[in-house]
């Protein structure tokens, strides 16, 4: 290469890297395979619909599969901060994967927008913001309806993982405040072929209602087992079960089930006064146009909301520094903490310095399965 | 805990055990003929249940395309090998066509029948045909050229096959689970028990298969030939028994058992693309209790695993899996102390 040519080449490289530095780099780690892939794939689908720029800045999105494996999640997160120098990392949808990712995010001082309602010890979530509703917010909606229906005792049938545990803890706290007792607690794993034994024990305890804590199509089997053992009381499900797979697999047995959900899933049925209605309809139309009628779900909406949040926060953060710099990343955190009331498709967010959960208490909507469809209760 | 609870738990445990017993038998079968510890046995179960579920929606299951790809691969390997052996083009092509024949027929029938939405039984038969056809192909592609390698190498290959099959399962069936319709919707009340028709089918099929396998190996010449391969490969080959043929037959039988197990559990639980592993693992544990060579002991082991699981989930549901797999330890210990080295190779 002649000196002149190499000079041009060097200049070109400089221009290219200069431009690349100004791009906002987003690292996304999702369970596209493995047990939680039912949650990860919809989010991935939604992120495919993202625009190529946010607030006028070009966006570079790197999506990696964490296979629902915490080790892979950490590996992805480390890759994001060391190799890709991301400005913000998204994920995971699986709680057990998102938790160790938070440690990497905090160490690298990079904002993490997590799609899972995970519990972190106080002070460890300085750089982590959660997109889903917290379990207390959702438990608040369930307990509210239970109280209205005069329920006094509840049986708990949940996953033997972090999702099940956090529900048990938060639901019990909320229920206690309202004079409702959890009188029996049983666990199961998604891979179990039978939960007859657990259902037997729960039905024998004879509670007024059951709370099933499971996700996606995995939520149908425990529900059916309880019905099969002759339980006549009301059965409640959490927002991880708020997808059509519940009815597809459960059929007649899940009729009359009460399911708590974020507002995005039942966009059209929301009252006009609901702040999220417009955005929820926008999400549903965009997603179903791309992936078919009825494909909407709780998780993809988090992906939609993450974009809304970034579109509001990035202009504020740009005042602090250029994308790719430490200042920009810190600016992003400050922006998220100070941007105040933000309406998204899944409710109303209001993050503060001390609260990285965000959603306000009126976010949860109670649905009932009527004739194989959702109906706002 | 009263009698009615005990009997319900027993029924639940035995129903699960019947399926574990089938998978345990398949594991013993494959190991005793080919020395392959066949970890992906459970994947055949998931493939069976989910292929039927996709047929129910009126679509052509992705497993059909996989079957065609695998058949093409196996045929190419056969052609290549025969060519190296004989240098006769006609013979090489014939060998390839022989490998292709069955999968082509099965796939063709499936592609033709799927959109017509035939009755459940026809779909079930097609499903069994598809999954069974996988057996010999898996053996041909993954194991045949390594047939003389050590058990450890074959085990490592098994792990690879397991991951490949699970990944492909996700691709074909998606992440969400399916539940199939019952083959027999009846319910019978016996005291506090309510026995479903499906449970009776599970018992019936499991028992029939166990008896059939036993008869096959003790009464038929072919069964004895298979056993001979297991005892001494070289000796069997000298007697004119094709060890490759024996391997392919064994894998076809294992796949058939897997497919049937899938059809049996499909209506009683939600099956996911990755559900097979844990079910297969429990069958494997049952087979280990039988020392990987005894069919009756494997069946007893399966019964034990099923009952422990049912009662374990009643008493301490959070630790069910721990209880099941921990109980294997003393049995393994006892086997290694009392059993000595009685392996036949």
A113 phi/psi in degrees, rounded to 5: -100, 105
| pLDDT tens per residue, range B143-169 | 999 988 888 999 999 999 999 999 999
User: For residues B129 and B309, what is the distance between their CA atoms, to the nearest angstrom?
Assistant: 32
What's the confidence (pLDDT) of residue A8?
57
Dmax over Cα atoms in chain B, in whole Å?
73
| pLDDT tens per residue, range B18-62 | 999 999 999 999 998 888 999 999 999 999 999 999 999 999 999
**Residue A227: pLDDT over 90:** yes
- The whole-angstrom distance between A377's CA and the closest CA on chain B is 26
Q: Please judge whether B5 and A216 are an interchain contact, meaning their C-beta atoms are less than 8 angstroms apart.
A: no
Q: Please judge whether B9 and A34 are an interchain contact, meaning their C-beta atoms are less than 8 angstroms apart.
A: no
Q: Which residue has the tokens 């690349």?
A: A20
What's the confidence (pLDDT) of residue A123?
81
Show the CA angle centred on residue B28, arms to residues B23 and B34, nearest 5°.
120
Is the distance from CB of B260 to CB of B29 less than 8 angstroms? Answer: no
Q: Which comes out higher in pLDDT, residue B4 or B307?
A: B307
Is the distance from CB of B274 to CB of B165 less than 8 angstroms? Answer: no
| pLDDT tens per residue, range B200-257 | 999 999 999 888 888 888 889 988 888 888 778 888 889 888 888 899 999 999 999 9
Residue among B170, B175, B270 whose CB faces A249 most closely = B270
CA distances from A65 to A33, A68, A76, A77, A97 (A): 7, 8, 8, 11, 11
Choice among A226-240, B52-66, B290-304 with the minimum mean pLDDT: B290-304
Mean pLDDT of A180-192: 92
Residue A307: both structure tokens together: 């974009």
Listed residue (A353, A324, A361, A363) closest to A25, CA to CA = A324
Residue among B176, B265, B317 whose CB faces A193 most closely = B265
- Given CA atoms B333, B337, B341, B342 in this order, what sign does their dihedral have? negative
| pLDDT tens per residue, range A119-161 | 888 888 899 999 988 888 999 999 999 999 999 999 999 999 8
Which residues, 6+ apart, have CB-to-CB distance to B260 below 8 Å?
B22, B48, B128, B205, B209
Which residues, 6+ apart, have CB-to-CB distance to B163 below 8 Å?
none
Q: Which residues are registered as beta bridge partners of A62?
A: A27
What's the confidence (pLDDT) of residue A37?
84
What's the confidence (pLDDT) of residue B43?
95
User: For residues A196 and B196, what is the distance between their CA atoms, to the nearest angstrom?
Assistant: 13
Q: Which residue has the tokens 């046995």?
A: B41
Q: Three-state SS string across A335-353, please? A: HHHHCCCEEECCEEECCCC
The sheet that has A57-65: what strands, in order across it? A53-54, A57-65, A24-30, A88-91, A111-114, A128-130
Using a CB–CB cut-off of 8 Å, the residues of B that contact A are 5, 8-9, 12, 15-16, 19, 167, 170, 174-179, 265, 268-270, 272, 274-275, 277-279, 310-314, 317-318, 320-321
Mean pLDDT of B273-293: 89
What's the confidence (pLDDT) of residue A309?
94
- The whole-angstrom distance between A162's CA and the closest CA on chain B is 12
Peptide bond connecting A92 to the previous residue in cis, omega within 30 degrees of 0: yes
| pLDDT tens per residue, range A342-355 | 999 999 999 998 88
Q: Three-state SS string across B270-289, please? A: CECCCCHHHHHHHHHHHHHH
Residue among A33, A197, A218 whose CB faces B314 most closely = A197
Q: State ipTM.
A: 0.85
Coil, strand or helix at A232: coil
| pLDDT tens per residue, range A50-82 | 999 998 889 999 999 999 899 999 999 999 999
Residues in chain A: 377
**Residue B290: pLDDT over 90:** no
């Amino acid at each position: 290469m002649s000196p002149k040519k190499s000079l041009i080449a060097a200049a070109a490289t400089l221009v290219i890297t200069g431009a690349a530095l100004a791009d906002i780099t987003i690292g996304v780690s999702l369970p596209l395979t493995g047990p939680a892939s039912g949650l990860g794939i919809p989010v991935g689908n939604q992120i495919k619909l993202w625009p190529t720029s946010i607030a006028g800045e070009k966006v570079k999105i790197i999506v990696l599969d964490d296979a629902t494996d915490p080790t892979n999640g950490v590996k992805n997160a480390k890759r994001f901060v060391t190799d890709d120098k991301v400005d913000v990392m998204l994920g995971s949808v699986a709680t057990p994967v998102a938790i160790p990712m938070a440690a990497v995010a905090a160490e690298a001082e990079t904002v993490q927008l997590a799609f899972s309602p995970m519990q972190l010890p106080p002070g460890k979530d300085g750089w982590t913001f959660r997109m889903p509703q917290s379990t207390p917010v959702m438990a608040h909606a369930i307990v509210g309806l239970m109280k209205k229906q005069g329920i006094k005792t509840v049986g708990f049938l949940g996953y033997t993982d972090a999702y099940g545990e956090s529900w048990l803890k938060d639901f019990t706290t909320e229920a206690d405040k309202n004079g409702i007792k959890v009188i029996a607690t049983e666990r199961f794993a998604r891979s179990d072929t039978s939960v007859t034994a657990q259902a037997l024990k729960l039905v024998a305890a004879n509670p007024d209602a059951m709370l099933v804590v499971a996700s996606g199509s995995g939520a149908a089997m425990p529900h059916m087992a309880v019905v099969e053992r002759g339980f006549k009381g009301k059965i409640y499900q959490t927002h991880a079960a708020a997808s059509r797979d519940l009815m597809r697999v459960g059929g007649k047995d899940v009729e009359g089930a009460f399911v708590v959900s974020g507002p995005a899933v039942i966009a059209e049925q929301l009252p006009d006064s609901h702040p999220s209605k417009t955005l929820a309809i926008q999400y549903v139309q965009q997603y179903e146009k791309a992936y078919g009628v009825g494909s909407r779900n709780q998780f993809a909406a988090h992906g939609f909301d993450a974009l809304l949040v970034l579109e509001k926060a990035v202009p504020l953060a740009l005042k602090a520094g250029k994308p790719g710099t430490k200042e920009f990343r810190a600016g992003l955190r400050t922006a998220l903490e100070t941007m105040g009331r933000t309406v998204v498709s899944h409710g109303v967010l209001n993050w503060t310095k001390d609260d990285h959960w965000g959603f306000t208490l009126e976010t949860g909507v109670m649905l009932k399965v009527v004739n194989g469809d959702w109906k706002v209760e | 805990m009263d009698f009615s609870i005990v009997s319900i738990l027993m029924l639940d445990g035995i129903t699960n055990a019947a399926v574990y017993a089938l998978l345990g038998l398949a594991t013993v079968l494959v190991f005793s003929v080919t020395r392959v510890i066949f970890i992906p046995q459970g994947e055949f179960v998931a493939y069976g249940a989910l292929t039927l579920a996709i047929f129910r929606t009126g679509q052509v299951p992705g497993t059909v395309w996989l079957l065609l790809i695998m058949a093409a691969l196996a045929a190419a390997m056969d052609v290549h090998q025969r060519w190296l052996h004989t240098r006769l083009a006609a013979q090489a092509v014939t060998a390839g066509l022989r490998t292709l024949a069955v999968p082509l027929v099965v796939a063709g029938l499936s592609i033709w029948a799927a959109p017509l939405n035939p009755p459940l039984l026809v779909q079930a038969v097609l499903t069994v045909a598809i999954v069974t056809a996988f057996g010999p192909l898996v053996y041909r592609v993954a194991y045949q050229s390594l047939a003389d390698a050590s058990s450890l190498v074959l085990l490592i290959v098994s792990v690879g096959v397991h991951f490949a099959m699970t990944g492909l399962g996700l691709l074909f069936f998606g992440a969400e689970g399916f539940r199939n319709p019952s083959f027999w919707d009846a319910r019978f009340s016996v005291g506090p028990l309510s026995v479903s028709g499906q449970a009776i089918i599970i018992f019936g099929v499991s028992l029939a298969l166990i008896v059939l396998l036993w008869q096959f190996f003790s009464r038929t010449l072919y069964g004895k030939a298979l056993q001979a391969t297991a005892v001494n490969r070289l000796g069997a080959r000298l007697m004119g028994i094709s060890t490759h043929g024996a391997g392919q037959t064994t894998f076809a039988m294992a796949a058939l058992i897997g497919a049937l197990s899938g059809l049996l559990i499909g209506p009683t639980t939600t099956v996911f693309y990755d559900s097979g592993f844990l079910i297969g693992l429990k069958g494997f544990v049952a087979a280990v209790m039988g020392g990987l060579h005894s069919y009756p002991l494997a069946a007893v082991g399966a019964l034990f695993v099923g009952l422990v699981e049912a009662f374990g989930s009643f008493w301490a549901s959070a630790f069910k899996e721990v209880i099941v797999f921990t109980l294997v330890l003393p049995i393994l210990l006892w086997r290694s102390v009392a059993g000595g080295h009685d392996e036949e190779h």
